[in-house]
Amino acid sequence: EVQLVESGGAVVQPGGSLRLSCAASGFTLGDYTMHWVRQVPGKGLQWASLVTWDGFSRYYADSVKGRFTISRDSSKNSLYLHMNSLTTDDTAVYYCARENANWDAFDVWGQGTMVTVSS
């Protein structure tokens, strides 16, 4: 079964750091461009970052650029989001998603992990 499982969400103080993980199963993560999408509770989806299938390119939304870093570990078939200088605006559920290149769409989503930035 094709599946994505996020973990690492926690309560963190403003200015703090956190690393989210996304474990893939049922497919090889390195064959796909992978994304992080976040959602403030009660609000809409916001695209955050992507890493291309070959790992050569990474892109970020303006709201996280310079603070977040996306990475992946092929040996663990896992995707990561390293988050620094967190603010209360970063409080959200974070989803990892697989991009289907033939469809130009996100065809597999994880269940999400909650990040709360609060003092």
Partner 1 sequence: QSALTQPPSVSGSPGQSVTISCTGTSRDIDSYNRVSWYQQPPGTAPKLILYEVNNRPSGVPDRFSGSKSGNTASLTISGLQVEDEADYYCTLYTTRSTWVFGGGTHLTVL
Q: Which residues bind partner 1 (CB under 8 A)?
A: 35, 37, 43-47, 50, 57, 59-61, 95, 97, 100, 103-107, 109-112
Please, which residue, 3 or 74, has the CB nearer to partner 1? 3
Please, which residue, 44 or 66, has the CB nearer to partner 1? 44
Q: Which residues pair with 49 in a beta bridge?
A: 36, 60
Both structure tokens of 58: 């990474």
Q: How far is the CB of 75 from partner 1 (least distance, A)?
A: 26
Q: How far is the CB of 66 from partner 1 (least distance, A)?
A: 15
Q: How far is the CB of 49 from partner 1 (least distance, A)?
A: 9
Reported as half-sphere exposure (CB side, CA atoms, 13 A), residue 81 has a value of 32
Q: How far is the CB of 15 from partner 1 (least distance, A)?
A: 26
CA distance 22 to 70: 11
Beta-carbon count within 10 A of 94 CB: 23
CA distance 99 to 52: 9
Please, which residue, 46 or 84, has the CB nearer to partner 1? 46
